[in-house]
Chains A and B, each alone.
Chain A
Amino acid sequence: MPLVKVQEVHKAFRRGSSPAVNAVNGVSLTVNRGETLAVIGESGSGKSTLGRLAVGLHQPDSGSVHFDGMNLGNIDQNSLRQLRRRMTVVFQEPLGSLNPMMTIGQIVEEPLSIHEPGLGREAKRDRACEILEQVSLDSALYGRKPGRLSGGQQQRVGIARAIISQPHFVVLDEPTSSLDLSIQAGILQLLAKLQKDLDLAYLYISHDLASVDFFSDRVAVMYLGQVVEIGAKQSVLDHPRHPYTQALLSASLSTDPDVTQEQMSLRGEIPSSVSLPQGCFFYGRCPYRSDPRCAEERPPLREVAPGHFVATFYDAQSDYLAGGQ
Chain B
Amino acid sequence: MSNQLQIQKILKTIRWNKGLACALTLLGLIVVSSTLLPLPHDPMQPNPYQTLRPPDGEFWFGTDRVGFDVFSRTIRSARVDLPVSVVGTLVSLVVGVTIGLVVSVKGRWSERIMRCLDMFQAFPLLVLAIVVVALTGNNLRNVVVAIALVNIPRFIRLVRSEALALREAGFIEAATSIGASRVRVMVRHLLPNMTGVVVAQASLAAAHAIIVVAGLSFLGIGITPPQASWGTMIRSGSQNIATGHWWVAVFPGLAVFVVVTSFNMVADGIYRLLAGDDQ
Let me know if chains A and B touch directly in the complex, using CB atoms closer than 8 Å: yes
The residue that A57 contacts in the complex, of B173, B180, B181, B193, with Cβ under 8 A, is: B173
A111 to chain B, nearest CB (A): 5
* C-alpha gap A283/B181 in the complex (Å): 45
Please state if B177 and A55 are interface contacts (CB–CB under 8 Å): yes
Residues from 57 to 74 in A contacting B, C-beta threshold 8 Å: 57
Cβ of A100 within 8 Å of any chain B Cβ, yes or no, is yes
Interface stretch of the complex, out of A78-86, A244-252, A265-273, A298-306:
A78-86
Interface of B is mostly: helix
As a 0/1 sequence over residues 184 to 212 of chain B, the CB contacts with chain A under 8 angstroms (1 = contact) are 10001100110000000000000000000
- In the bound complex, do residue B178 and residue A114 qualify as a contact, i.e. CB atoms below 8 Å apart? yes
User: Judging by beta carbons under 8 Å apart, are B178 and A161 in contact?
Assistant: yes
Q: How far is the CA of A99 from the CA of B178 in the complex (A)?
A: 13
Provide the bound-state CA to CA distance between A91 and B171, in Å.
Answer: 9
| B170–A114 touching, CB < 8 Å | no
A206 within 8 A of B: no
Task: Specify the chain A residue showing the minimal Cβ separation from B168.
Answer: A96
Contact B178 A97, beta carbon cutoff 8 Å:
no
Residues of chain A contacted by B192 (CB below 8 angstroms):
99, 101-102
Which chain B residues (132-149) contact chain A, with CB distance < 8 Å? none
Q: Chain B residues with Cβ under 8 A from A102's Cβ?
A: 188, 192
Q: Are A110 and B177 in contact, CB atoms less than 8 angstroms apart?
A: no
Contact call B177/A99, Cβ cutoff below 8 A = no
Check if A226 is an interface residue, CB within 8 A of chain B: no
Complex interface: chain B residues within 8 A of A97 (CB): 170-171, 173-174
* Cα-based distance from A158 to B177 in the complex (angstroms): 12
Instruction: For A96, list chain B residues within 8 Å (CB).
Output: 169-171
Q: Does A165 contact B (CB under 8 A)?
A: yes
B178 in contact with A84 (CB, 8 Å)? yes
Show 26 A/B contacts (Cβ-Cβ < 8 Å), sorted by A.
A55-B177, A57-B173, A57-B177, A81-B179, A81-B180, A84-B177, A84-B179, A85-B179, A88-B177, A91-B170, A91-B174, A96-B169, A96-B171, A97-B171, A97-B173, A99-B188, A99-B193, A100-B193, A101-B193, A110-B180, A110-B188, A114-B181, A114-B184, A115-B179, A158-B174, A161-B174
| List of A residues within 8 angstroms of B178 by Cβ | 84, 88, 110-111, 114, 161-162, 165
For the complex, give the distance between the alpha carbons of A260 and B252 in Å. Answer: 84
- In the assembled complex, B30 has its CB within 8 A of some CB on chain A: no
Q: Which residues of A contact B181 (CB under 8 A)?
A: 81, 114
A-B contact count (CB 8 A): 60
What CA separation (Å) do A114 and B181 show in the bound complex? 9
Whether, in the assembled complex, B176 has its beta carbon less than 8 Å from a beta carbon of chain A, the answer is yes
Query: How far apart are B195's CB and chain A's nearest CB, in angstroms?
Result: 9
| A322 CA / B179 CA spacing, docked (Å) | 55
- Chain A, residues 93-108, CB within 8 Å of chain B (1/0): the string is 1001111111000000
Known: A96-B170, A98-B171. A89 touches B189 (CB 8 A): no
Chain A residue numbers with a CB within 8 Å of B189 are: 99
CB of A56 to closest CB in B, whole Å: 9
Distance in Å: Cβ of A80 to nearest Cβ of chain B = 8
Nearest CB of A to B177, in Å: 4
Contacts of A110 in B (CB 8 A): 175, 178, 180, 188
Task: Kindly state the separation between the CA atoms of A111 and B175 in the bound complex, as whole angstroms.
Answer: 9
* Contacting residues of chain A (97-141) with chain B, CB-CB under 8 angstroms: 97-102, 110-111, 114-115
Residues on B with beta carbons closer than 8 Å to the beta carbon of A114: 178-181, 184
Asked if A91 and B173 make an inter-chain contact with CB atoms under 8 angstroms apart, the answer reads yes
| Contact residues in B for A89 (Cβ distance below 8 Å) | 174, 177
Q: Which residues of B contact A85 (CB under 8 A)?
A: 179
